[in-house]
């Protein structure tokens, strides 16, 4: 089945009661029982299960080529549930240029509960191997990473994780199941901030998790129900709707992104451009082999923070906002926004300069976006 067809039909079912083509919104907190413990379709309480959420969970499981899906109230809630698979004293390896919210949760929350974390360069497989200890239980990677879009070889990482009996996790937010399927490469758990591309319209905050493994699914499901960070039925419905146009949106976003990159690489005000589509980008060929397309997130450097602010001020179609993956194009300065929770010395060590600008390219007309960004850069050249 072609991916565009799968996005429309994969995991989706018509309503058994009415035959409704779209998934109904079951806006209820509880369900009538025909007798004590005699449940209808297994539904008892909406924190434990809800038909609208269950439909979404079925969809993401199929799209990610998994057997189980879980929907959470935010991307961070999904990440938190996955990290909660670890016990006190366990050791986690994660890429060093990770999303600021993930960094904050790991360093400010989970370390208080005895989970040890090392932030490492996962773009080189030998670096992963060197940091494994007897206490290491999980390998967590973003690929491409946020915001410098560094690429990790998923297959190499999985092989290392399997040899050392580690749970392997990939944050697939930037790529979506339309362009990359980590579970098919052997990863144990894939997760998304579904707020981003999967929703695609800047109107939902959500997180998704998928896995093939029965044992991990049982544990994640228990954590989801016990801690209660579930996604509501209205937001579940909006994600189901958003998924149906994911392929159309990602194709247009990719076209726009590649055109913008070409302009950026030739503009005198731009010092560096970061994107896996660029042939000189570290692990470019690996990215081409493990994915079928490109994210709409692009990062580039101008001289300093003042120049970055001027570019943002002059742009007409790139909205200054955090988040990414929406139909409208967004622009941000990671050092002051999405990655501000990371100490300045750590940011600079990772190459996140104050003059770094991150774009989330939308689905607007290609030429409009290119011309808009070019005129904004012309002011600071």
Please indicate whether residue 47 is annotated as part of the active site.
Answer: yes
Catalytic pick from 26, 68, 99, 197?
99
Catalytic pick from 171, 188, 235, 372?
171
Residue 13: partners with Cβ closer than 8 Å, 6 or more residues away:
55, 58
Q: How far apart are CA 306 and CA 57, in angstroms?
A: 44
Please indicate whether residue 171 is annotated as part of the active site.
Answer: yes
Q: Which residue has the tokens 């950026």?
A: 264
Catalytic pick from 196, 212, 249, 307?
196
Residue 244: partners with Cβ closer than 8 Å, 6 or more residues away:
7, 8
Please indicate whether residue 99 is annotated as part of the active site.
Answer: yes
Catalytic pick from 3, 4, 15, 47?
47
Q: How far from each other are the two terminal CA atoms of the chain, in whole angstroms?
A: 48
Q: How far apart are CA 308 and CA 356, in angstroms?
A: 7
Sign of CA pseudo-dihedral 136, 137, 141, 146: negative
Report in angstroms the alpha-carbon separations of 134 from 94, 146, 161.
Answer: 16, 29, 13
Q: Which residues pair with 136 in a beta bridge?
A: 91
Q: Which residue has the tokens 């002059």?
A: 314
Q: How far apart are CA 51 and CA 58, in angstroms?
A: 10
Q: How far apart are CA 174 and CA 65, in angstroms?
A: 17
Sign of CA pseudo-dihedral 225, 118, 142, 196: positive
Of 84, 103, 86, the residue nearest 142 (C-alpha): 103
Provide the token pair at 295.
Answer: 């994210």
Query: CB of 260 within 8 A of CB of 373?
Result: yes
Q: Which residues are catalytic?
A: 47, 99, 171, 196
């Amino acid at each position: 089945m072609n991916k565009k067809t799968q996005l429309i039909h994969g995991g989706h079912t018509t309503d058994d009661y009415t035959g409704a083509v779209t998934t109904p919104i079951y806006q209820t907190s509880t369900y009538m029982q025909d007798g004590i413990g005699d449940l209808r379709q297994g539904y008892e309480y909406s924190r434990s299960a809800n038909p609208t959420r269950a439909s979404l969970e079925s969809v993401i499981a199929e799209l990610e080529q998994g057997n189980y899906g879980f929907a959470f109230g935010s991307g961070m809630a999904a990440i938190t549930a996955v990290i909660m698979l670890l016990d006190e004293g366990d050791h986690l390896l994660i890429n060093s240029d990770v999303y600021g919210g993930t960094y904050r949760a790991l360093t400010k929350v989970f370390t208080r509960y005895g989970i040890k974390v090392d932030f490492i360069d996962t773009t080189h497989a030998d670096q992963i191997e060197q940091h494994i200890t007897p206490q290491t239980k999980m390998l967590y990677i973003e690929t491409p990473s946020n915001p410098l879009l560094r690429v990790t070889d998923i297959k190499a990482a999985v092989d290392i994780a399997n040899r050392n009996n580690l749970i392997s996790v990939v944050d697939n937010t930037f790529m979506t199941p339309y362009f990359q399927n980590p579970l098919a490469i052997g990863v144990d758990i894939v997760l998304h901030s579904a707020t981003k591309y999967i929703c695609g319209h800047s109107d939902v905050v959500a997180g998704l998790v998928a896995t093939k493994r029965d044992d991990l699914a049982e544990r994640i499901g228990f954590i989801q129900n016990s801690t209660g960070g579930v996604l509501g039925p209205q937001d579940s419905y909006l994600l189901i709707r958003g998924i149906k146009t994911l392929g159309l949106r990602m194709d247009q976003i990719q076209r726009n992104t590649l055109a913008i990159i070409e302009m950026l690489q030739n503009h005198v005000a731009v010092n560096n451009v970061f994107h896996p589509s660029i042939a000189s980008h570290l692990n470019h060929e690996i990215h081409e082999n493990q994915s079928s397309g490109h994210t709409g997130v692009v990062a580039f450097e101008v001289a300093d923070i003042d120049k970055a602010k001027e570019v943002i001020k002059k742009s007409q179609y790139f909205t200054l906002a955090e988040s990414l993956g929406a139909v409208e194009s967004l622009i941000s300065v990671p050092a002051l926004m999405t990655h501000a929770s990371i100490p300045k010395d750590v940011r600079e060590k990772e190459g996140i300069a104050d003059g770094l600008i991150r774009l989330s390219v939308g689905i607007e007309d290609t030429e409009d976006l290119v011309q808009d960004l070019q005129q904004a850069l012309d002011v600071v050249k």
